[in-house]
């Protein structure tokens, strides 16, 4: 048999928290400094004109270059595996379409002659 521990009786005064033991502080917190002002970009201030056609063309390629650095490129092993799967599926599809084409050509030649 296991022995159970007996719970000691808690005195009533200790069971209920008193006002003196509450964590409420009457001291005022320090005032927070205001956030720093938001800096405006040159475009927001109106100093920079929107780019023309050539500027847009350059910005497009600059942004495209940034996006290409974020791409997760596949490893050589993954590329070879995907290429193999693709070639097998292309071979199966071409064989199927070739058989269907031959069958329909044969039916059409029977109907015409």
Place of tokens 């497009």: 60
Cα gap 25→31, rounded to integer Å: 16
Cα gap 110→113, rounded to integer Å: 6
pLDDT for position 16: 53
Q: What is the pLDDT of residues 7-30, one digit of tens each?
A: 555 555 555 555 555 566 666 677
pLDDT for position 29: 73
In-domain check, residue 45: no
Please give the tally of structural domains in the chain: 1
In-domain check, residue 83: yes
Residue range of the domain that includes 104: 76-113
Q: What is the pLDDT of residues 57-98, one digit of tens each?
A: 888 999 999 999 898 989 999 999 999 999 999 999 999 999
pLDDT for position 113: 83
* Six-digit token string for 9: 């009786």
Q: What is the mean pLDDT of residues 41-60?
A: 75
In-domain check, residue 28: no
| Contact between residue 101 and residue 94 where contact means Cβ atoms under 8 Å apart | no
In-domain check, residue 42: no
């Amino acid at each position: 048999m296991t022995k159970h521990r007996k719970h000691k009786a808690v005195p009533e005064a200790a069971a209920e928290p008193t006002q003196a033991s509450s964590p409420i502080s009457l001291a005022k917190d320090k005032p927070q400094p205001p956030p720093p002002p938001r800096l405006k970009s040159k475009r927001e201030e109106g100093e920079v004109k929107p780019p023309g056609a050539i500027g847009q063309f350059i910005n497009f390629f600059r942004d495209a270059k940034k996006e290409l650095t974020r791409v997760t490129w596949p490893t050589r092993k993954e590329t070879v595996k995907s290429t193999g799967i693709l070639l097998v599926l292309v071979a199966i599809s071409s064989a199927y379409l070739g058989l269907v084409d031959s069958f329909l050509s044969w039916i059409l030649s029977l109907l015409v002659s």
